[in-house]
Amino acid sequence: MKRAIAASLSFAAVLWLATPDTLVGRAADDVERLVAAMLRDTPLEEDLAALTDRVGGRPTGSPANLRAVDWALEAFHEAGVAAKKEPFAMPARWLERSAAAEVGGDVAFTPRVAAMPFSADTPAGGLAAPLVDGGRGSDQDLQRLGTAAKGAWVLVETSELRNLEDLFADYAEATAIEGRFLPADVAGMVYMGSRASGLLYRHNASRGPDNTHPLIVMQREDAARALRLLRGGARVSLTARLDVDAGGAYESYNVVGEIRGGERANEVVVIGAHLDSWDLGTGALDNGCNVAAVIDVARQMARLGITPRRTIRFALFNGEEQGLVGSWGYTIAHAAEMDGHVMASSYDIGSGRITGFFTNGRPDLVPLVERALQPIEGLGPFEQIDAPIVGTDNFDFMIEGVPNLVANQASANYGPNYHARSDTFDKVDLAQLRLNAAVAAAVTLGFANMDERLPRHSRAQIEALMDTSDLDDQMKAMGVWKDWESGKRGRRRK
């Protein structure tokens, strides 16, 4: 808390020095008042505690997720902000009920395991098969195994994950490994956990609901022991029992708060964070902290009686972890208003310092972001990166051609706790979260009030971005390419 207070004291000086030429009169005054309020004592911490400690881990499709929806709706209403539950279709249900495994053969022990999202289940008595050394999961490893891969559990060694870059590499590698080994008729894949000290986590598999194989993460130390045994010539088998609650399509809900614009009510600025989480931890860094921040921005705007020129929507998306589904659902539900969407932003990288924004293949967004950041330059420095990012709720806005932002954040402790049992309230840097919420407030209100707006991109312009960037590769890795290619998802040709 000390850091937040220090920041708010120096903040008045920052504003004084940076009196913006471009934001004049009441609009500039409103940003100043809003940011000052965000930096004071607000219920940000209490909200985060309620969502993580009381509601808990909340995978979409679980009872806890429905409690989170009710909680968020109530939080907006208590803040005096109009809000509603917006239904959308989740394509498939997946929840882990339990996961257990036993190593057998020459040596017996009980490794700790977690099912990967959309893993197939096993027979109730378990699926027993030889455990084989899959090396790093390369083509050469597959060739070396030859016919031994068939019908076996393939154990793949991983590097230890320390930061965000390692996390991205983890995903890219796993996607390639699945593409290689699953068609080779393996019984299932077992990834050595990439986090030390027994930490289990849910690593999203690339095929989503289309996956038909059991997929497991095994505690790093247990997996290393099994690999040493295999490499020492021991005979090793694995019996895994995965009980999952899998099923067909069902209805879920986004929670969307709204403050209507006073002048251009049909033009919409979205500030978003996802309400769902995985369930080993309580979804604090991913993404309870940013949910609390979005609610706090709405609350302080309502409390101060600020009327933005454009309408602001405070979107708490659901189904993000299971395929960015809620934000997709939002673009379907609001298809008729998509032309009026001026900017959609996502906050989803924990509580490390906001270092700037990804502008997602819209270089024309950069000067507008910088103008919106000007009143809070004392909270910087900020740097914009114009590269398309696939992996959070900006995605469907991007492929709808809507200008979109993702807050870029210092990696901090996000990577090691990502989707893990350790993603709990105590990992959140509350002082930094408060500063980040102030940044989010300034950017949101800045876009809602500025004179300019950027045009929506056509399908041809979105395709051009795919030709000139790795957007298509990222979409394949996230399992969302086929929906775009088939025309199910994204902007249609007009």
8 A C-beta contact, residue 274 and residue 318: yes
Cα–Cα nearest to 275, from 293, 259, 258, 260: 293
Q: How many residues of this chain bind Zn ion (CB under 5 A)? A: 3
| For Zn ion, the closer CB: 279 or 286 | 286
Among 32, 141, 276, 348, interactor with Zn ion by CB under 5 A: 348
**What CA–CA distance (Å, rounded) separates 277 from 56?**
9
Least distance from C-beta 286 to Zn ion, angstroms?
A: 4
Q: How many residues does the chain have?
A: 494
| For Zn ion, the closer CB: 388 or 391 | 391
Tokens 């900006």: give the residue. 394
Contact map string, positions 164 to 183, toward Zn ion, x by CB under 5 A: --------------------
- List residues bridging with 177 in a β-sheet: none
Residue 119 within binding range of Zn ion, rule CB under 5 A = no
8 A C-beta contact, residue 54 and residue 208: no
Contact set for Zn ion, span 287-346 (CB under 5 A): 287
Query: Could you tell me which stretch among 52-60, 285-293, 300-308, 486-494 binds Zn ion (CB under 5 A)?
Result: 285-293
| For Zn ion, the closer CB: 187 or 295 | 295
Least distance from C-beta 219 to Zn ion, angstroms?
A: 23
**What CA–CA distance (Å, rounded) separates 91 from 82?**
28
Residue 276 within binding range of Zn ion, rule CB under 5 A = no
CA R_g for the chain: 23
Contact map string, positions 360 to 389, toward Zn ion, x by CB under 5 A: ------------------------------
Helix (H, G, I), strand (E, B) or coil at 494: coil
Least distance from C-beta 303 to Zn ion, angstroms?
A: 28
Residue 133 within binding range of Zn ion, rule CB under 5 A = no
Least distance from C-beta 319 to Zn ion, angstroms?
A: 11
Cα–Cα nearest to 214, from 36, 327, 94: 94
8 A C-beta contact, residue 154 and residue 218: no
Tokens 């909680």: give the residue. 71
Query: Could you tell me which stretch among 171-179, 196-204, 248-256, 278-286 binds Zn ion (CB under 5 A)?
Result: 278-286
**What CA–CA distance (Å, rounded) separates 464 from 458?**
10
Residue 286 within binding range of Zn ion, rule CB under 5 A = yes
| For Zn ion, the closer CB: 226 or 407 | 407
Least distance from C-beta 52 to Zn ion, angstroms?
A: 14
| For Zn ion, the closer CB: 121 or 348 | 348
Least distance from C-beta 407 to Zn ion, angstroms?
A: 12
Least distance from C-beta 274 to Zn ion, angstroms?
A: 6
| For Zn ion, the closer CB: 11 or 71 | 71
**What CA–CA distance (Å, rounded) separates 72 from 272?**
13
HSE toward the beta carbon, residue 460, CA cutoff 13 A:
1
What are the DSSP calls for 109-121, one per residue? B---EEEPTT---
Query: Could you tell me which stretch among 194-202, 286-294, 325-333, 421-429 binds Zn ion (CB under 5 A)?
Result: 286-294
Reading the block at residue 84, the tokens are: 């509603």
Query: Could you tell me which stretch among 15-23, 78-86, 229-237, 283-291 binds Zn ion (CB under 5 A)?
Result: 283-291
- For residues 87-114, one letter each, b for 16 or more C-beta atoms within 10 angstroms of the residue's C-beta and e for the rest, the string is ebebbbbbbbeebebbbeeeeeeebbbb
Tokens 């939002």: give the residue. 330
Task: Determine phi and psi for 237, rounding to 5 degrees.
Answer: -125, 165
| For Zn ion, the closer CB: 204 or 444 | 204
* Residue 418 vs residues 95, 161, 167, 182, 195: alpha-carbon distances, Å: 18, 10, 8, 25, 10
| For Zn ion, the closer CB: 34 or 344 | 344
| For Zn ion, the closer CB: 283 or 361 | 283
| For Zn ion, the closer CB: 37 or 167 | 167
Least distance from C-beta 203 to Zn ion, angstroms?
A: 13
Least distance from C-beta 348 to Zn ion, angstroms?
A: 4
Q: Which residues bind Zn ion (CB under 5 A)?
A: 286-287, 348
